[in-house]
Homo-oligomer: A and B are copies of this chain.
Amino acid sequence: MALRLKTDYLEGFLTKDEIKAGEAKAKAAFDRVEKDSAEKSQPVGWLRLPVNYDKEEFARIKAAAEKIKSMCDVFIVIGIGGSYLGARAAIEFVKSNNYNLLPKETPDIYFSGNSIDGDALHDLIEICKGKRICVNVISKSGTTTEPAIAFRVFRDILVKQYGEDGAKERIFVTTDKTPKPGTLKEFADLEGYETFVVPDDIGGRYSVLTAVGLLPIAVAGCDIDAMMKGAEKAMIETDSFDIENNDAVKYAVIRNLLHDKGKKSELFVTYVPALQYTAEWWKQLYGESEGKDNKGIYPTSVVYSTDLHSLGQYVQQGERILFETVLNVAKPKHEQLIPETENDVDGIGYIAGKSLHYVNEKAFLGTVYAHIKGGVPNIVMELDATDEENFGYLVYFFERACAISGYILGVNPFDQPGVEMYKKNMFALLGKPGYENHKI
């Protein structure tokens, strides 16, 4: 197992019997996901993806990534929500949250089209000046406002910089499979852009291990074979319902039980800044899957020890509405040591010569004990390392647990009806044809 769930820090908050009693609901939820898959009644293509993925397209992704690496200094990835967070999470997890600033052989990677802020777009255009650029636009329909704006801007820049023919070589489109009239797929085929598929049977927030995430991840120099292997491992290990040996089921059960006890918000905790966007990805997955019908656990996140000096006070002694899910990484990428000094003016001589990881582990453990004493139940997950295989494992683990958890809660974990509401108002305010009679 790449990941181990520890229930030791739930003592006093949940009994083993309560967890056992959650089994019936969890079994029904687990079976329902299997049924969704068998009957294709919900978009659960991610369930067998680690073995069923399109091998021909996978090879094309790797080839395109090599081509992109050789052709550009800056790779612009245009997408929002599930077409943004997964790839960013993976690259920061495997490489660094300072990926763009580190010396490296692979292109800088910027995510655009995920907001409507003109200053952010302006800055990115400045950054691109004088650089060789490639673009990957990721949009199922091609009509989502945020990525559509960014694609117009960068397509313009590419055509000016390389001409229509040159631009063709540098634009990669991840979109619907079928070229229906008026779609991005039709346009891409017409223009001659290479295209990849956003599968119909996998929702955006479950899509990181499809071309949606894999192309940018491969451009960053990550081993996407290892990533799929990790996901497959997680699939196999969570494939049979057995609450004692299936941590995805156990996690789904525990978080619902804690929520039933008045814990309104789950705080996802990492001690590794490079996992900040893994937390963001997790927040979309759970928030969008469960936050409906006036239900759902409010997903929030922190990076410790940074935020122990910020939100730590509230977590320790504020209103008791939180539980924490701590993702602890067993093995760091680098062993970084604390130097000896002649004097000990800073009072940390007692840890000189130790690795930062050693100290970070103690900060993690000390914090878990402090918070459970303060009334905050802690679910602790230990992950082996921050490499491709572990990322793939983690993604699959959380996806499967999320589907089960949503069904335990009694919602449909695969739709997102609330996301349309702001858009309709925005379209009406912008005077979009067809929204003249929309009442705000």
Contact = CB atoms under 8 A, between A and B. Distances in A.
Interface stretch (A32-40, A41-49, A343-351): A343-351
A283 B313 CA distance: 11
Interface residues of A, number: 135
Nearest to A288: B313
A292 interface: yes
A321 B264 contact: yes
Contacts of A31: none
Q: How many copies does the complex hold?
A: 2
Contacts of A272: 117, 119-120
A149 interface: yes
A316 B427 CA distance: 17
A123 B94 CA distance: 13
A333 interface: yes
Contacts of A118: 332, 334-336, 355-357, 360
B359 A116 contact: yes
Nearest to A431: B350
Interface string A351-382: 11001110110110111011101110000000
B293 A310 contact: no
Given A339-B152, A386-B119, A429 B366 contact: yes
Given A101-B101, A294-B317, A310-B81, A116 B305 contact: yes
Contact of A346 (B101, B184, B370, B431): B184
Nearest to A185: B345
A345 B184 contact: yes
A16 interface: no
Interface stretch (A21-29, A51-59, A418-426): A418-426
Contact of A418 (B127, B288, B312): B312
A401 to B, nearest CB: 17
B359 A182 contact: no
A318 B286 CA distance: 11
Given A319-B296, A350-B431, A422 B186 contact: no
A236 interface: no
A271 B114 CA distance: 11
Given A313-B291, A317-B293, A345-B142, A96 B119 contact: yes
A428 B366 contact: yes
A279 B359 CA distance: 29
Contact of A142 (B116, B184, B346): B346
A374 B116 contact: no
A148 B346 CA distance: 6
Interface string A275-304: 000001001100110111111101110011
A91 to B, nearest CB: 13
A346 B151 contact: yes
A371 to B, nearest CB: 8
A309 B296 contact: no
A427 B375 CA distance: 21
A80 interface: yes
Contacts of A308: 419, 422
Contacts of A288: 310-314
A187 interface: yes
Given A115-B271, A115-B303, A316-B421, 6 more contacts: A115-B273, A143-B348, A153-B338, A287-B318, A291-B311, A367-B425
24 contacts: A84-B306, A98-B127, A116-B360, A119-B272, A120-B274, A121-B356, A122-B334, A142-B346, A149-B348, A149-B356, A152-B352, A186-B345, A187-B343, A264-B264, A290-B318, A291-B319, A296-B319, A298-B300, A298-B321, A309-B419, A315-B418, A351-B430, A359-B426, A373-B421
